[in-house]
Amino acid sequence: MMKTRFLMLAMMMCMTALTFSACSDDDDDDKSINVPEAVTQALKQKYPNVTDVDWKQKSSYFVADCWLDGKDSDIWFDANGNWWMTESEIYWNDVPGAVQTAFNNSEYANWVQDDYYFLLYPLQPMQYVIEVKQGNQKYQLFYSEDGGLMNTVNVTGKDDTIYPPEE
């Protein structure tokens, strides 16, 4: 009887160990990223109140995945410390009324709303993004602050990262 309990306990521990060893780290932060000093200083200068900064590298950009003013944000810099874009996740209630009205009157009004963002750029006006889904389709709708639909991007089955515009 004792031997059976011991074997059962040993099997359970083995299965638990195998389960945990099979799990991968889903965190996409690359701990080996060497963020240039110019970039870290530029972040501190532009946004001194950011918290919980994790760095990612996307293409040639260094992206600070962080909290900014209570919002989950991605702040994009080039290797020289030039700021290119800030993307912050927001709630529907944070989306300007003109954008909400334009969306509600659009062909996507009946689609499932997935996420909302606002995008800040150094030289371009602020934009709002509404991600929508219907079935297996997923789109990003880019609006100006006054509710004008600026761009519609089909991101179905693709990387839905919003990259800074090339200037």
pLDDT value at position 48?
96
CATH code matching the domain that covers 35-84, chosen among 3.10.450.360, 1.20.1250.20, 3.40.50.300, 3.40.50.150: 3.10.450.360
Q: Is the pTM of this model over 0.85?
A: no
147 and 98 in contact (C-beta within 8 Å)?
yes
Average of per-residue pLDDT across 138-146:
98
Radius of gyration of the chain (CA): 22
Domain boundaries, the chain: 35-84, 90-159
pLDDT value at position 1?
52
Per-residue pLDDT tens for 29-76? 455 789 999 999 999 999 999 999 999 999 999 999 999 999 999 999
CATH number of the domain located at residue range(s) 90-159 in this protein? 3.10.450.360
Backbone angle region of 157, left / alpha / beta, with phi > 0 → left and psi within -120 to 50 → alpha: left
pLDDT(23) > 80: no
pLDDT value at position 11?
44
pLDDT value at position 166?
78
The residue ranking higher by pLDDT, 140 or 32, is 140
pLDDT value at position 31?
58
Average of per-residue pLDDT across 114-134:
96
Q: Is-same-fold flag (35-84; 90-159)?
A: yes
Per-residue pLDDT tens for 74-96? 999 999 999 999 999 999 999 99
Tokens of 105: 């009157």
pLDDT value at position 9?
41
Which amino acid, one-letter code, is at 8? M
47 and 69 in contact (C-beta within 8 Å)?
no
